[in-house]
């Protein structure tokens, strides 16, 4: 028996997944980096002497110096405050949209699989039809007429649940005939309770992994919308909006470098954490 097998005795699957994740140094380091970045997005705008909305005339397009560590933008606003304020918006959009996506997709897929028969067939055909729609084109049309922070994460969340619904459906199909489900039925447990108290808790591993991979995807979509001028409206901003502004003045290198670097680092870390969680929840890992 190996050392790992000896350590595995008496541990739950969740504890074993956490142990495997902690052994993944890259994923663990990226998780710490993500937590640090998220903390800075909250702390910097709060403690800074500069406001993200206030102009510091005549300091227009000033390169990084002792007063403005990341320089200023075309409206003489401190870029560092705006970068971390924008990061707060990007994080919020990514996580809130993912939460909506998971809520809809997990419920839809679980109900479809548990119901089975014609109900399952109908619900999955609806998913197939929705898959045929050009999602980003639909988002752009909606955002052309309605803008705002709430609208952004609602639209992105409500249009990105299709994949997780299929993942959950496949997982539930493999579980719904298991002994613990039959035992719950025999005890008179209702269908809703079986789905939400017995089945969904047993598929949290794939759901968590999918969530960590969805957050960067949503953040990229929001950045694309902001780059087109359809995302977050002034005076608020996001990393995508700042990159869009900086792209119009590339010779002012700091205006695109700092928001671009923060966003690239965040997306890299989110994907690394997602990969680490995928490996951690893989029961074949040893």
pLDDT at 233: 79
The confidence band for 54, taking pLDDT boundaries of 50, 70 and 90, is: confident
278 pLDDT higher than 90 = no
24 pLDDT higher than 80 = yes
pLDDT (average), residues 228-253:
84
78 pLDDT higher than 50 = yes
3-class DSSP string for 20-77: HHHHCHHHHHHHHHHHHHHHHHHHHHHHCCCCCCCCCCCCCCCCCCCCCCCCECCCCC
Rounded Cα distance between 162 and 105, Å, is 6
* Range name among 13-17, 74-78, 165-169, 281-285 with the lowest pLDDT average: 281-285
Spell out the CATH class of 14-42+80-280.
mainly alpha
pLDDT at 6: 41
pLDDT at 143: 84
- pLDDT for 133-146, tens place per residue? 888 888 888 888 88
The residues spanned by each domain of the chain are 14-42+80-280
Rounded Cα distance between 83 and 240, Å, is 10
């Amino acid at each position: 028996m190996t050392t790992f097998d000896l350590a595995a005795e008496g541990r739950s699957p969740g504890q074993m997944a956490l142990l495997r994740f902690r052994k993944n140094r890259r994923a663990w380091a990226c998780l710490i980096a993500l937590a640090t970045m998220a903390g800075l997005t909250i702390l910097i705008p709060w403690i800074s002497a500069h406001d993200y909305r206030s102009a510091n005339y005549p300091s227009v397009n000033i390169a990084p110096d002792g007063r403005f560590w990341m320089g200023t933008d075309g409206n003489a606003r401190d870029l560092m405050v705006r970068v971390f304020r924008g990061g707060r918006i990007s994080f919020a959009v990514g996580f809130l949209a993912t939460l909506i996506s998971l809520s809809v997709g997990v419920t839809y897929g679980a109900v479809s699989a548990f119901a089975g028969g014609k109900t399952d067939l109908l619900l999955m055909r609806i998913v197939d039809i929705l898959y045929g729609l050009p999602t980003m084109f639909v988002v752009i049309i909606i955002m052309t007429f309605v803008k705002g922070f709430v609208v952004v994460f609602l639209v992105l969340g409500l249009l990105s649940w299709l994949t997780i619904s299929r993942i959950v459906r496949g997982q539930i199909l493999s579980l719904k005939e298991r002994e613990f489900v039959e035992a719950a039925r025999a005890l008179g447990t209702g269908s809703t309770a079986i789905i939400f108290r017995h089945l969904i808790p047993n598929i949290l591993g794939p759901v968590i992994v999918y969530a960590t991979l969805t957050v960067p995807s949503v953040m990229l979509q929001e950045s694309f919308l902001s780059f087109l001028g359809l995302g977050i409206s002034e005076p608020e901003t996001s990393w995508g909006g700042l990159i869009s502004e900086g792209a119009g003045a590339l010779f002012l290198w700091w205006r695109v470098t700092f928001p671009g670097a923060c966003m690239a680092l965040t997306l890299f870390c989110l994907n690394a954490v997602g990969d680490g969680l995928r490996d951690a929840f893989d029961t074949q890992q040893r």
